[in-house]
């Protein structure tokens, strides 16, 4: 290497397939019940990881980050749903879960895992 950087801009790659709005919404719809089981006793090891993913997307500044290693630490079908959402976000402008009608569910998730945001002001 001569130390010069390539000047070709990044190109879209076929590895990330086009994901439709409906496919992304369906993935979110499958992820939310994992993160929000009916009782705390029903939570699995994946619940907090899925919550981290969804909350980091919803408001990473206030809800924290999503460790990429979590993709390796959940069942493959859960990781695929996370990747489906990420692929959709990679191809579209800024979009949040409320675009699919999940605003209240995300608020509930925030309160469950991060506490009531109104109380932290």
pTM strictly above 0.85:
no
Give per-residue pLDDT as tens, 60-117.
898 889 999 999 999 999 999 999 999 999 988 889 999 999 999 999 999 999 887 7
Contacts of residue 53, defined as CB under 8 A and 6 or more positions apart, other chains included, come to 31, 66, 70, 82, 85
Q: What is the mean pLDDT of residues 17-34?
A: 94
Ordered by start, the domain boundaries in the chain are 21-115
- What whole-number distance in Å separates Cα of residue 36 and Cα of residue 33? 5
Structure confidence at residue 35 as a pLDDT band (50, 70, 90): very high
- What whole-number distance in Å separates Cα of residue 61 and Cα of residue 2? 39
């Amino acid at each position: 290497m001569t130390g010069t950087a390539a000047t070709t801009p990044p190109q879209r790659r076929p590895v990330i397939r086009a994901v439709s709005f409906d496919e992304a919404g369906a993935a979110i719809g499958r992820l939310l019940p994992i993160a929000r089981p009916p009782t705390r006793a029903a939570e699995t090891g994946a619940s907090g990881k899925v919550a981290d993913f969804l909350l980091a997307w919803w408001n990473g500044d206030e809800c924290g980050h999503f460790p990429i290693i979590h993709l390796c630490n959940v069942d493959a079908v859960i990781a695929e749903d996370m990747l489906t959402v990420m692929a959709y976000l990679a191809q579209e402008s800024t979009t949040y879960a409320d675009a699919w009608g999940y605003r209240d569910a995300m608020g509930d998730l925030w309160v469950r895992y991060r506490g009531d945001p109104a109380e932290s002001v």
